[in-house]
Chains A and B, each alone.
Chain A
Amino acid sequence: MDAKVPKYPACCAPLSFDGATGKAVCEFCGSSFSREELIPEAIAVDSMKGGVAAAFSSPRPIQKHIEESQSGECPEHADAVIPFRVTKEQAIQGFKDYYAGSKLLPKAFVKALENQEIEQVFYPAWIFNVRVEGYQEFDCKTIRIWNDRGDDCKEAKYYRPRRRGSIRLAEVPILGTTRLRKENAKRLEPFHISEAQRFTEGVIRGANVETFSVNYQQAAAQVETLGKDALTAKFHETLKQFYRIEGKPLDAQVFEEASYSVLFPVWKLTFEHLGNYSLYMNAQTGVIAGEVPPNNTKMYLSCIAAFAGVLAVGITFALALFG
């Protein structure tokens, strides 16, 4: 139950939530702290255990949170921000290395790299810590086939397994913008939330910050689906002895233990080659997403040159030999 009992980072004593004041109270020293005062440090220290943010949101069904969320508006800025760890030079080198050796790089791509035309972009995301409790029934069977004194025998046994259980997911990121394709966002994961800092203007200075276009309700709905799928997958893992498995609808509830928003740091390289293309680099890990289209003109010219060259040699050879 560590997640429910965060600790005050100064004296490591448990914190309790005072519903009347809306503040966390240190059980050892009695100090009280607002969410804003506590989150940056808490996230940095204890995020892997559920996050201090959990102290400000009681673990109750996520549907309740969605219902109680009055405004469908997106936040103006995130709660926290992950700073850039990869420098610009490293990013450029990373992009160069990504397609090292390619002979079909578009000129625009090469030019953009030469001119170091890459930009710092913060992409917003919602982070959830959730617990999923659920119950599910399955229709399964096992089949055994053997040969008994020359006769083929088949035995089918039918089962209706029941599974009840729970699972906890931590730091589930839900992309807060639609300006980054989901497959690219997935490719860029994971971001280390432990390095997140409290949002300040200074941290994001000089960088482009994508605004939220996915609000809390939309993100919570996504994480609810994700949590249920994770529990179902876990149940399936316990049914490996069965031959055919048909699951009944899952009866589950997703409890939000913590939620907050964060900005992911990304290096973005944009170039134009028969359309707009972008390469993205996780500015924490250096992982790159996106692709550079081949320069087909180069390829066709190379093929034509090869064809013409070999043919010219052949014709010259043939004419020299046979007139």
Chain B
Amino acid sequence: MRDTINAKTAAKPFCKCITIFVVGLLLAMGLMAPSEAFAAQIQGAANSNSGVLKAGISDSGHTGVDIGNKKSSGGGSRSSGNKSSSGSSKKSSSSSSSKNKVSSSSTATAAKSYAYLSAMRHLNRDDSAEAGSSTDEEGPLFSGNPPVVFDSAGVLSESEIAELEQSCEQFSKQEGYGIYIALFNGLETDNFYIFSNEYFDGEGYGLGDLNGGVLLVVDLADEESIRYCSNISSSAIDTLWDDQMLRDVGYRFASEDFYGGCELYISMIEQALLYFDNESTSLELIDSMQYVIDECGLIPGAGYEDLSSRCRELTEQTDTPIYVATVETIGEEDPEEFLLRYIQEHGLGFGEDYNGFVALFVADTGKIYLRHQEDFSPYYVEEEINGIVEATSSVEFEDAPEAFVAGCEDAIARYEEATNRAVNRDLTIFFFVLMAIAAVIVVRTILKRSHKPKRQEWKRPDYEREGSFILTESNDNFCGEKNVRY
């Protein structure tokens, strides 16, 4: 089974709705054609909305990942007998696979898609000499095991490739999962999604009987063509490796920091798989994050630990991460842009909006820059943020990080106190509203009762003269009786 995520930006909601509607309609009507090309079109459309859309349609054996929920919709593993053919993976290996599968059984055989084949032809033409692969246009690119790091784009130096391979292989030996990187430049394929999936299967990536592995596929010619493929079902990967992470890696590539992007990818996968092995909770994953990044050594050792733990506590308490970062200089760069770039590079903040509260302390100018998303947390209203800024700027620069965290703590304390007071106040007012209603009822009852007229003795007039009634005939005349026994 293979989990795939496409790092494309979210499309407009209208397009998303249209796509969902069309896909749903086609599924409902059973009109999904068994052709892979058609399936690929649908997949492509679905992937264009991958910010929230569940990419549930793929060719055989490939299930999607619900990015919005960060949960794997697939799961399970691929059969060992299907090493060389992606399409021949066992359909019964995953129930969700069979649910989401739209291609026919014939499509699930060895046939490769047009996207893959055309790309392979292109690659074989260009790279056959370099890769030492076979010249069979429809065959795999590599005759043996695929390289751990395949730099078809030629953007990595040999030493960088060696270092990356070393990192990947070291982890692979420990965990039994393969970590791979494949960089291309100008793939001639209609559908990068299909290509990446079949590339993984077709070239025999993965370790062990289950072909466990995670492959990063990047087409540098197309900034949107970055994807990872895996046949490891791991909620940890889904948790960590969401589109934000993809974007972090993609950002590095876009910045032409190819080695850094690959390194970040490896570290993230390692972290995710370690998390998966330990069956950690998402909270523990958060714990492992770095809240204090002291690049210029502003914060002493003991203080660093203290600040880190306090930031972590604040994060746990508010679900809003608090970061303290110190740098020597930001150079000539606009502070706002620098801070944003810094946040993206270090993966600070949650979610697509880098939700969090970051304080950047610049040593050479002694300036402090704060950044937060609007409406990112009810704990930090504008007034509180102003208070934090004031608290942070009112002390010496060396003490500013401590003051910043303390200010955040005070803000939260004030918020909670205010919340409690507000709750108590509202409860009290509510109680008195009830009392007021009761008072109204009492007053009304009292007033109504007070308005009753005085009781006066009165009896119905009796005009009969006493003893004037004379009964001259009184005959009861018995007519008969009826007896019934039940």
Interface residues of A, Cβ cutoff 8 Å to B: 97-105, 131, 135, 140, 148, 151-172, 186-187, 189-190, 226, 230, 234, 238, 287-288, 291-292, 294, 298-299, 302-303, 306-311, 313-315, 317-319, 321-323
Contact = CB atoms under 8 A, between A and B. Distances in A.
Contacts of A318: 424-426, 428-429, 432
B453 A99 contact: yes
A153 B485 contact: yes
Contacts, number: 177
Interface in B458-486: 458, 461, 463-465, 468-486
A161 B464 contact: no
Interface of B: 421-422, 424-426, 428-429, 431-433, 435-437, 439-440, 442-444, 446-448, 450-454, 456, 458, 461, 463-465, 468-486
A157 B476 CA distance: 11
B439 A306 contact: yes
A168 B468 contact: yes
A216 to B, nearest CB: 18
A93 B276 CA distance: 95
B463 A307 contact: no
Given A287-B456, A307-B436, A169 B482 contact: no
Contacts of B421: 322-323
Given A101-B450, A165-B472, A230 B464 contact: yes
Contact of B465 (A170, A226, A302, A314): A170
- Chain A, interface SS category: mixed
Contact of A104 (B433, B447, B475, B486): B447
B140 to A, nearest CB: 73
Given A99-B454, A302-B443, 20 more contacts: A97-B454, A102-B452, A153-B484, A157-B481, A158-B478, A159-B479, A161-B476, A166-B472, A167-B464, A167-B468, A170-B465, A171-B463, A234-B464, A234-B469, A287-B458, A288-B453, A299-B444, A310-B432, A311-B432, A314-B435
A144 B271 CA distance: 95
B446 to A, nearest CB: 8
Contacts of B435: 310, 314
Name the residue in A159, A161, A318, A319 with the highest tally of chain B Cβ atoms < 10 Å from its Cβ: A318
Name the residue in B433, B451, B483 with the highest tally of chain A Cβ atoms < 10 Å from its Cβ: B451
Contacts of B456: 287-288
Contact of A154 (B422, B452, B476, B483): B483
Contacts of B475: 161-162
Contact of B470 (A161, A165, A190): A165
Nearest to B457: A287
B447 A103 contact: yes
Given A97-B454, A167-B464, A167-B468, A156 B432 contact: no
A303 B458 contact: no
A206 to B, nearest CB: 27
Contacts of A167: 464, 468-470
A299 B454 contact: no
A253 to B, nearest CB: 14
Contacts of B479: 158-160
Given A159-B476, A161-B475, A310-B432, A166 B469 contact: yes
Contacts of B442: 306
B470 A166 contact: yes
B464 A160 contact: no
10 pairs of A and B residues whose beta carbons are closest in the complex: A314-B432, A164-B473, A168-B468, A322-B425, A318-B428, A310-B436, A152-B486, A165-B471, A169-B463, A322-B421
Contacts of B446: 103
Contacts of A166: 468-470, 472
Nearest to A304: B440
Contacts of B486: 151-154
Given A166-B470, A321-B425, A103 B451 contact: yes
Contact of B473 (A100, A103, A165): A165
Nearest to A105: B451
A213 B426 CA distance: 68
A223 to B, nearest CB: 9
B485 A148 contact: yes
A46 to B, nearest CB: 13
Nearest to A227: B463
Given A234-B469, A319-B425, A294 B481 contact: no
A187 B477 CA distance: 41
B24 to A, nearest CB: 52
Contacts of A157: 478, 480-481
Nearest to A3: B465
B474 A159 contact: no
Nearest to B454: A98
A302 B440 CA distance: 8
B458 A306 contact: no
Contact of B481 (A151, A156, A298, A307): A156
Contact of B474 (A103, A160, A161, A190): A161
Contacts of A158: 478-482
Given A168-B465, A314-B433, A303 B451 contact: no
Nearest to A311: B436
7 contacts: A156-B483, A158-B479, A160-B479, A292-B451, A299-B444, A309-B436, A323-B421
